[in-house]
Amino acid sequence: MKHDRLDDHFVASFDEDDLGDTDALRVQDAPLSLWSDAWRKLRRRPLFIVSALMILALVFIALFPGVFTQVPPNQNCLLENSEAGPRAGHPFGFTFQGCDVYSRVIYGTQASLTVGVLAVLCVLVIGVTFGALAGYYGGWLDAVLARLGDIFFALPLVLGALVVTQLPLFRQNQSVWTVVLVIALLGWPQMARLTRGAVIEVRNADFVTAARSLGVSRFGALVRHVLPNAIAPVIVLATLELGVFIVAEATLSFLGIGLPQSVMSWGHDIAAAQQSIRTNPTILIYPSVALSICVLSFIMLGDAVRDALDPKSRTR
């Protein structure tokens, strides 16, 4: 009888207490994956929303410049309009050669985004391939690729481009693809180093060992398991480097060794506006502001993506 009283006093029914609520797992608070958690954070960040809208606007301008201006950038350039101020249909005025500044700024978006995107894609292919192979296989392959990367890494991008573009092969074939090739040739080492470090961190993980024990080949494990889990920092760097490569293209065009004069480029316009900086500085300001906004939008996007993919900020 006494034993029954003790049981009644100390033992409670599971349905009557709140142990179930206390021990319940909050499934809705746990992220499904790195990417779902990153997207949940990104869509709540004003920095990402603003930068994404800016980039979408730039892409739309680059794809459909005719929607924003009906004036051809290299036509109807009359010397009588040299350095003239804004007027109806020409809100930014005219260049020293009498060309419409607004039209050239709009059409210059195409070259900058094209060179930036293509250069990043080429750098991703080269850098991720070399970095993944070096980090996963190691040994002599790692040593050879590391020394090769050190050679290119020692060359500053603009200085190396000055030398490479003077070669007859590049000087006689000046085009968008030439600039992309030069930037990719000199810009892949940083991507390769980052990929190598990320692959080294993942290659000895338990899920990679389990895949190998199940019969997956080394290359298959690299492609199917290692790279997908090491790609996050690579995406962040690619987003940031897109802005860097756009600046590199504008710098090379400013120096006269980038895009040909027939291609609209903010670098060309900034270089040509130097002679008007005292008489009409707005000719220099407009392409400079357009370049700054373009680069700033990708830098803001890169910062937002980096914060979202940072494993230290994820919910544990």
Which structure tokens are listed for 284? Answer: 């220099």
Give the whole-angstrom CA distance, residue 224 versus residue 214. 13
Which structure tokens are listed for 307? Answer: 């914060």
- Among candidates 164, 159, 156, which has minimal Cα distance to 181? 164
% of the chain at pLDDT higher than 90 = 24
- Looking at residue 152, what is its pLDDT? 84
Domain ranges of the chain: 55-313
Q: Where are the alpha helices (DSSP H) in the chain?
A: 2-10, 19-23, 34-42, 46-63, 101-137, 139-153, 157-164, 168-171, 176-202, 206-213, 218-221, 227-230, 232-254, 266-272, 282-309
Q: Is the dihedral of CA 181, 187, 189, 191 positive or negative?
A: negative
Give the whole-angstrom CA distance, residue 284 versus residue 182. 27
pTM (2 d.p.): 0.82
Give the whole-angstrom CA distance, residue 60 versus residue 222. 37
- Looking at residue 6, what is its pLDDT? 46
- Looking at residue 31, what is its pLDDT? 47
CATH no. for 55-313: 1.10.3720.10
- Looking at residue 57, what is its pLDDT? 94
- Among candidates 278, 315, 291, which has minimal Cα distance to 116? 291
- Looking at residue 94, what is its pLDDT? 85
Angle between helices 282-309 and 232-254 (to 10 degrees): 170
pLDDT in tens, 114-139: 999 999 999 999 999 999 999 888 88
- Looking at residue 219, what is its pLDDT? 86
- Looking at residue 28, what is its pLDDT? 53
Give the whole-angstrom CA distance, residue 66 versus residue 287. 18
Ranges of residues in the chain whose predicted pLDDT is under 70: 1-35, 310-316
Q: How many CB atoms lie within 10 A of CB 147?
A: 9
Taking a C-beta distance cutoff of 8 angstroms, is the pair 85, 100 a contact?
A: no
pLDDT in tens, 38-59: 778 888 888 889 999 999 999 9
